[in-house]
Amino acid sequence: MNDDTGGPHPVTGLDDVVHQRVRLGILTIAHEARRVEFGFLRTQLELTAGNLSQHLGVLETAGLVEVEKGYAGKRGRTWITLTPAGTTALAEEIARLKQLIARVESPQ
């Protein structure tokens, strides 16, 4: 189905890497925080450490986040930051979602 401009439906532009619920949450929180600690993400998204690690691995492999390990005092910490590509991917995903919302909310 084409949109009003004759182009593909907005859903075809959704990125499977970004659109997955947990990964979209990670990207959104990282965007808001600029730099976010692993434990905070785990708590906010209600995930196990292993599950969060898997999703972060997908995002890191795709070049959308950067994972930095270090210490805060004597405790090991992991911080996540959005890369420029991650910022772009999140913005594009949100734009597609807005297009979908507009289609649903517009009168037929």
Can you name the residues that pair with 8 across neighbouring β-strands? 2
SS3 101: helix
- Domains of the chain, earliest start first: 14-87 (1.10.10.10)
The model's pLDDT over 51-60, given as tens digits with 9 standing for 90+, comes to: 999 999 999 9
> Exposure pattern of 22-48 as b/e (b: 16+ CB <10 Å)?
bbbbbbebbbebeebebeebbeebebe
pTM of structure = 0.84
Of the candidates 51, 47, 46, 41, the residue with the CA atom closest to the CA atom of residue 82:
41
Backbone angles phi, psi at 36, to 5 degrees: -130, 140
Banded model confidence at residue 3, pLDDT cuts 50, 70, 90: very low
DSSP reduced 3-state for 48: coil
Q: What is the pLDDT of residues 64-77, one digit of tens each?
A: 999 999 888 888 89
